[in-house]
Amino acid sequence: MFEFFNQPEVIKTIVTIGSMALFFVGLFGLLTQKHLIKIFMSIAIMETALFLLFIGLMYKKSFLAPILSDGQTGFTNMNDPIPHAMILTAIVIGMAVLALGVSFAIEYYKLTGKTNIDEMTSLRH
């Protein structure tokens, strides 16, 4: 029964639909939520959805990890290493931005007691 899910096309369809659903969950949160931390969470969810989409689509089943060892000499039958390297970098950067944002939010809360973006109005004239 589970053989059906092992077909590459089916896996790719599931990955695409799932990650796009996750992306729109994040987008919905970004547009509707007012709490600063929740907005940061929404952005993180959107990013994660893209990472999943990329890794899921570029992964080829029954291909090896791209490491030259154990008698492997050529780059045949290997998964493409670039998406993994890219996503690792992107995760680190996304994490740094998120941490910076949360630290700004905490400092801002300490100074003013506000967490709602609709109340951030001291710069509007």
Smallest separation (angstroms) from other proteins to the CB of 2: 26
Do 68 and 83 touch, CB atoms closer than 8 A?
no
Residues in contact with other proteins, total (CB under 8 A)? 37
Taking CB atoms within 8 Å and a gap of at least 24, the contacts of 55-63 are: 55/83, 55/84, 55/87, 56/11, 56/12, 56/15, 56/16, 56/19, 57/12, 57/15, 57/16, 58/83, 60/8, 61/6, 61/8, 61/11
> How many C-beta atoms lie closer than 10 Å to residue 48's C-beta?
16
Question: What is the end-to-end Cα distance of the chain in Å, rounded?
Answer: 63
Q: What are the distances in angstroms from CA 105 to CA 26, 29, 44?
A: 19, 17, 15
Could you say whether residue 41 binds other proteins (CB under 8 A)?
no
Of 18 and 101, the one with the shorter C-beta distance to other proteins is 101
Could you say whether residue 29 binds other proteins (CB under 8 A)?
no
Could you say whether residue 20 binds other proteins (CB under 8 A)?
no
Could you say whether residue 111 binds other proteins (CB under 8 A)?
yes
Query: What is the C-alpha to C-alpha distance for residues 75 and 94, in angstroms, rounded to an integer?
Result: 31
Among 21, 88, 104, 116, binds other proteins (CB under 8 A): 104
Could you say whether residue 96 binds other proteins (CB under 8 A)?
yes
Considering only 3-11, 32-40, 64-72, which stretch makes contact with other proteins by CB under 8 A? 32-40
Could you say whether residue 64 binds other proteins (CB under 8 A)?
no
Smallest separation (angstroms) from other proteins to the CB of 55: 10
Kindly list the residues in this chain that would bind other proteins in the complex (CB under 8 A): 30, 36, 39-40, 43, 46-47, 50, 53-54, 57-58, 80, 82-83, 86, 89-90, 93-94, 96-98, 100-101, 104-105, 107-108, 111-112, 117, 120, 122-125
